Structure 1
């Protein structure tokens, strides 16, 4: 904005040299300092405030960019105010009051024509110089902070009209007034009229040159940036970003190219996500086909093997009955029977995994079935694994089958005992609750049932939690088995329901226990929730929660 003072100083120097009165420079110094320096800096402090803070690294880049879009306009308004005061004082008041210029019509015409030129040319010059400075600052903010300015509403046609109107018409009117009303020799300065006209035209030429230079520079650099961005998009780079450097149609075009690039990038990302989803769906479909084939194979093999075991059990029991109590082979046949029974239990697990629920479901008191399983497990696991068991006061009746309930409890409790090497307490309890849809909706938001069947999340404490299945609203029974064992990490938890996955040593587990539990629970429209914390973290251990719908009450 100090270009007003510099411009006036240059023009005054030219006029002083032409007129042969160098002392005129010193006579103009006070008024130039007051109007064109002091007032200009006072206004610029408020206008440039956010920009100056951003340049110092303390301000908001977005606020600075927004201010820069109005900088040329606001600076021009302040320059019009200060330049107007300066021109009125310097070219009208001072000549009449301080230099005793006679207020004749010729003198007043000369003074008004000179004041008109400077009232127009000074803010005109400021507008275009500040416009170029603001453009460079917008580019700097974009390159430094990645912030683009909002496009302005100025038109290129308006700028060209301003150049012609203010830069050419105003000096032309001043020259015309000088030629019409001023005598051949100025009554104020004593200079020839042609000298005054020459200085006026020179000032207008300088202002017009600055205006054309600013507009041409902004247009050429904006067009070059737009061309580079379009070439990048054509080459496959859909994410070029441009600095919105101008407040006219070119700035809006830059913002439009940014929006187009963002839309293309989002479209490409959506296409990539869609392709990934299709690939995942295809993988899940093939995995389901493999699981189905595996289930059919397992069911067929298990059925045939079960027939073989039935023969083995029958003949072994018959042979054992014919032996005396002291026969040493009797004990060996007992081991054969035990091995065959374990084989039959394994076959039951395979069949539970292979089928999607039992076809002969009937009302079963879950508390009674789990209680029987707990009593059997207490005898099997021994005193090293005490089991605390609690049930609700009222029966928890589900639609199922007792054998599958025993299988669920046995698998969960035996796995828990294996996680507590050397002993530890097991907690088993049953309670009932009403699911109002919140749990089902919560699981749906996490990707179920449309997403993966198993969802696993790592917890901030280093543990993990998992959900299998989606519950429908209504009354449910919840079977909980909790241990204080070594727990699992998220990677292990993601695989525990896979058939044949096990963390046990060879010969200690088949990897079908939790797969069988999953098959039974999902076949009964239930769900499983798991929370685990690996040792040695505080509160380590694992808790399985099995949710099963309660059977409708009689008469429902």
Structure 2
């Protein structure tokens, strides 16, 4: 049995009812036993999601690998043809357009492979706040002027194991998604850092430990409940055709799998979305 708390969270209860009869077989009482099974339901749901994403990642990674081999052959031959066509402007122009399309396809393949397997990037101790500041500074010029960027990223201790490019990519993908969710209206994008101790009571579906939480919040249109379970799938997008590949959140999911991070999403249609990225904290020396 599912109930909804005042704060919007769900509680699952196992309800057992058993009648008590008197000597004549008449029901005189009913024994009701209730047990909170919310933790078990969340763990089961998380396991199903993890298995589904792993299967999708394996499939997508295999296809992308084969496609990449074909693509490289096409691009090498295009580059070779370009060198041979120095004098024919029209042919060169067509070949250059083909090569640009090949580079875009190669970038997409890299994103799929990031989702499907480890990128092999070296993990080093790094301060999240420094990378976030740098990322936001670079990102600011590419965001619409109608999006106000706020940041609350001052922490005394915020060291995690990751590659700098991991954090850059997470920030870029989440902030780009947030800006798209805000659309042409004026809106606020807030990036913040906080610290939390995860235990079985407050975060039952996250391995216990100390975490740095990177939160990206927007005042956009929100995510519909019926698609929430699919937003991290490769190529799934609610954007109009031609406005996105559907790989942004899939790449974030792949990176977090590599660095043992977790993502939680809070959203309400019409009121915006918050992505909370849980990064295992390490002790600074």
Fold in common (TM above 0.5):
yes
Could you give the per-residue CA deviations for residues 497-547 of structure 1, whole angstroms, max 9, x where no partner exists?
344432223343333322331232244232223232322xxxx22221212
2:204 pairs with 1:473:
no
Contact 2:189 2:219 in 1 (8 A): no
2:229, 2:56 → 1: CA distance? 20
Q: Say if 1:239 and 1:541 are closer, same or farther in 2 by CA, change over 3 A.
A: closer
User: 2:223 maps to what in 1?
Assistant: 488
Residue range with higher mean Cα deviation, 541-550 or 490-499: 490-499
User: 2:276 maps to what in 1?
Assistant: 545
2:97, 2:244 → 1: CA distance? 19
Gap regions ≥5 residues in structure 2: 1-16
2:108 pairs with 1:346:
yes
The 3-state SS of whatever aligns with 1:543 is strand
User: 1:509 maps to what in 2?
Assistant: 244
| Structure 1 residue 321: Cα displacement | 7.3
Find the partner of 2:259 among 518, 524, 528. Answer: 524
More strand by share: 2
| Structure 1 residue 548: Cα displacement | 0.8
2:89 pairs with 1:303:
no
Q: TM-score, normalised to structure 2's length? A: 0.70
Q: TM-score, normalised to structure 1's length? A: 0.39
Q: Say if 1:325 and 1:533 are closer, same or farther in 2 by CA, change over 3 A.
A: farther
Q: Tell me the C-alpha RMSD between the 2 structures.
A: 4.2
Greater RCO, 1 or 2 (C-alpha within 8 Å, sep 6+): 2
Gap regions ≥5 residues in structure 1: 1-237, 243-250, 449-469
- How many residues are treated as equivalent by the alignment? 264
| Structure 1 residue 473: Cα displacement | 2.2
| Structure 1 residue 491: Cα displacement | 2.4
2:138, 2:267 → 1: CA distance? 26
Find the partner of 1:436 among 185, 197, 213. Answer: 197
The 3-state SS of whatever aligns with 2:221 is coil
1:533, 1:292 → 2: CA distance? 27
| Structure 1 residue 241: Cα displacement | 6.2
| Structure 1 residue 396: Cα displacement | 3.6
Contact 1:430 1:479 in 2 (8 A): yes
Alignment of 1:131-530 (within 5 A): 253=23, 291-314=53-76, 316=78, 327=89, 332-355=94-117, 360-389=122-151, 391-392=153-154, 396-433=158-195, 435-438=196-199, 440-444=200-204, 448=205, 470-474=206-210, 476-530=211-265
